[in-house]
Amino acid sequence: MSKVRRASVHSSSSSSDIILSTRTRKSISKSRRSSLAEEAIKPPSRRASLAAAITSLATATIDEEHTPLVVDLHDLYKKKIVKSSQKLNCFFGEPTPVDVCISEIKKEGLKAILESKVPLCYFLYYLLDEFSSENLLFFLEVERFDEHRRISTAGELKTMAERIYGTYISNSAQLQINLDDKVKRNITNQLLAISDFNANTIFVEAKASVYILLESSYIRFLGTNIYQEMIRHCGEFTIHYDERTIKSAVSYLFGHLKQQKESINAQSNGTKDSNLSESLIAVNSHYYNLTRSIIERFVINMFGKAHLPLKHL
């Protein structure tokens, strides 16, 4: 009786094709068979699994069919917050200035902190440090745009949309957000066309894209000192922050601005009339003024002009 030759699998170095070839039983040693069996049943390490997950998140693209889902989940949470606030107003018989507590933020994550005021100051501080504050500002602007859809005319809404586009989306935007070309093109075409403008959908994809970027930033925010400072100043279960807590949160934002100003002054004092140095100082000064405008507008929208520092930097 002739011996049956076993088929084995070889991976060619020049291509990814799988080639079957025959081998004698002796060509694979016992130790080699054992190592192959161990590799086959050995589960991937935790580090490898984590690396694979991060890679898949980094390279993931937004599925058009599920793009609105991210925003829908946030909108559902927002309705829940509004409903809770209305119940408190009915109970006390007047508008109640409540905020989102830290315990709720720990439980619900990004969607909760986006509905807050005082805790949101600390998140904005982190985003300014990360040079990605435009994502939060755009999201808040679109939130306000969505609120105006029920009370504004089509012409007013288009004017608001054009302002948002000019600030965050156009190629010359000072606070340009990172959007897929297709999403940007869809918004541009709607604004250029006379009859294609749809206030209900124009920013849906862009808002969902930015929300995902904010999710990534929020995860990094959780591991920072400023996150711990937020917990320390705000407490776990406080829903009504006093003036002292508000002032502390606002002072963090203007403290960031003060650091920028001191850096520019140090560059100015150390320059040697170099054109490159002067150009760098000009760029940094422009960024400082832009950051100052961002912080001032944010504080006014959240707390009113009374909470701006008496001494402007």
Does 151 map to a domain? no
Backbone angles phi, psi at 121, to 5 degrees: -60, -40
Maximum alpha-carbon separation in the chain: 100
pLDDT value of residue 71: 56
- Judged against a pLDDT cut of 90, whether residue 142 lies above it is answered with yes
Contact 118, 249 (CB under 8 A): yes
Give the contacts of 202 (CB within 8 A, at least 6 positions apart): 161, 187, 190, 191
Backbone angles phi, psi at 161, to 5 degrees: -65, -40
pLDDT value of residue 33: 45
pLDDT value of residue 203: 96
Does 298 map to a domain? yes
pLDDT value of residue 166: 96
Does 206 map to a domain? no
Question: What is the residue range of 277's domain?
Answer: 242-312
pLDDT-wise least confident of 48-62, 86-100, 143-157: 48-62
Does 251 map to a domain? yes
Q: Which pLDDT tens digit goes with each residue over 254-312?
A: 999 999 999 888 877 766 556 657 788 888 899 999 999 999 999 999 999 999 987 65
Mean pLDDT of 148-165: 92
- The whole-model pTM stands at 0.72
| Cα gap 62→257, rounded to integer Å | 35
- How many CB atoms lie under 10 A from the CB of residue 187? 20
Give the contacts of 14 (CB within 8 A, at least 6 positions apart): none
pLDDT value of residue 17: 42
Q: Which residue has the higher pLDDT, 73 or 149?
A: 149
| Cα gap 123→215, rounded to integer Å | 12
How many domains, in total, are found in the chain? 1
Contact 140, 147 (CB under 8 A): no
Does 264 map to a domain? yes
pLDDT value of residue 81: 56
Mean pLDDT of 216-232: 97
pLDDT value of residue 266: 84
Contact 193, 155 (CB under 8 A): no
Does 259 map to a domain? yes
Six token digits for residue 256: 């960031």
Contact 67, 208 (CB under 8 A): yes
Q: Which pLDDT tens digit goes with each residue over 32-64?
A: 444 434 444 444 444 444 444 434 444 444 444
- Which segments of 42-101 does DSSP mark as H helices, in order? 46-59, 67-92
Does 303 map to a domain? yes
pLDDT value of residue 149: 87
Does 216 map to a domain? no
Six token digits for residue 190: 């709607």
Q: Which residue has the higher pLDDT, 132 or 76?
A: 132
Name beta bridge partners: 18. Answer: 11
